[in-house]
Amino acid sequence: MVALMTAASTGGASSLPGAAPGARHWVNTWATMPQLTEPGNMPPAPFTQEKAVLVDSTLRQTVRVTVGGDRLRLRFSNAFGGAPLPLTSVSVARPAGGRAGAAGIEPGSARPVTFQGARSTVVPVGAQAVSDPLPFRVAAGGNLTVTTYLAEGQASLDITSHPGSRTTSHLLAGRHVDAVDLPGATPTDHWYFLSGVETWAPARTDAIAVVGDSLTDGRGSTTNGNDRWPDQFFDRLRSRPGGAVDTAVLNQAAGGNRVLNDGLGPNLLARLDRDVLAQSGVAWLVILEGVNDIGTAPATPAAQQDVAARLIAAYEQIVVRAHAQGIKVYGATLLPFGGNEMYDDPAGLREESRRTVNAWIRDSDRFDAVIDFDAAVRAPDAPRRLLPAADVGDHLHLNPYGYRLLAEAVPVRLFR
């Protein structure tokens, strides 16, 4: 069924080795991969104008945190913005009914967010802003609402977002950061600007960063359902004795992303520092990425031999860079895509590349552990294809059941 190979001790290195009892540190409890927003993923009309976005507009977003806490801070990214990003006012609150994607908030729960004591800040081009610490209790696995008002908007059509949020956000003209309801708001299934939530956690608390493509970003999962495989794996962590009080899970994947070349977002080698090494409290890295590199390389023997060799070299680079920061690296085997209209070629050259890469992942001993996702979801009688019950229908992506199989394939013992 699911094979697991380990090459090193499975205990995650604490972010604060030898810390005194009661010591605490900042740990990301939620994060998402910032991207340059494509034209089709811009804020819907009338919130995208000829030269600016979200002018005099309120943006309400919900995110699901992993580990809980009673003190938090937010991170906003302008990594791909073509102009400074003025944040006029920001608040956090509990969403109505605790629901992901809710437009309303629980009455009386809104709290103002400040930046160096001020209600507003301007995020420079290419930069990020970290808020002041805010006393605000969030439960493990709970949803958090972040509402942002932009009086001036952002004076550019190059903006930073995460299009594959699988979560509904809400836009409304005017200033409504503390409003309990947003009647008439325009829904959109994207996140904009918000890139991280940190919690002030006990020293034993660490984070797992997961990098990948649409299979980790959750294409085929349920909008507002939080049933991507990292979500379902976090639920497994919570169910172990003591609950998931000390292990955050950060989904740093994006649909269309690649290891070697830019596509939807920078390539993994380029974004590793920002999306993994610079994240607070990361002790483990899980890599499930490479299918898009194989699938977009020409289906010729030379091109496929080249992409397989370059993927293997890239994985080695990632391991070296993460180990230098004390982060353990777990490699996941690539899933089958037989029958997919875009990636499967008649001669089976891309399948041969996938098998070559998977053999290296399993047998090279370069990773601290190997998680055999391929074995978890391939069809027993047709191993180059996905298990039919797990296939969303395109023979490349999974449905929520398929993502559950991936979550169940990850041994929780690897993370403590």
Does 243 have pLDDT greater than 80? no
Q: pLDDT of 23-82, one tens digit each?
A: 999 999 999 999 999 999 999 999 999 999 999 999 999 999 999 999 999 999 999 999
What are the residue boundaries of the structural domains of the chain, listed by start?
Answer: 4-21+203-415, 28-196
Does 316 have pLDDT greater than 90? yes
pLDDT at res. 18: 53
DSSP H or E stretch at residue 199: strand 194-202
Instruction: Give the integer Cα–Cα distance in Å for 298 and 296.
Output: 6
Does 2 have pLDDT greater than 60? no
Q: Which residues does 201 contact at the CB level (< 8 Å), separation at least 6?
A: 24, 25, 26, 27, 29, 67, 69, 246, 281
pLDDT at res. 20: 63
Q: pLDDT of 188-233, one tens digit each?
A: 999 999 999 999 999 999 999 999 999 999 999 999 999 999 999 9
Instruction: Give the integer Cα–Cα distance in Å for 125 and 44.
Output: 23
Q: pLDDT of 94-123, one tens digit each?
A: 999 999 999 999 999 999 999 999 999 999
Which token pair is 37? 């927003």
Q: pLDDT of 123-168, one tens digit each?
A: 999 999 999 999 999 999 999 999 999 999 999 999 999 999 999 9
Domain 4-21+203-415 is found in CATH 3.40.50.150: no
Mean confidence (pLDDT) of the chain: 95
pLDDT at res. 9: 35
pLDDT at res. 319: 99
Does 11 have pLDDT greater than 50? no
pTM for the predicted model, two decimal places: 0.93
CB atoms within 10 A of CB 217: 28
Confidence tier at 3 by pLDDT (50, 70, 90): very low
Q: pLDDT of 351-381, one tens digit each?
A: 999 999 999 999 999 999 999 999 999 999 9
Confidence tier at 239 by pLDDT (50, 70, 90): confident
Does 5 have pLDDT greater than 80? no
Instruction: Characterize the bridge pairing of strands 57-64 and 143-150.
Output: antiparallel
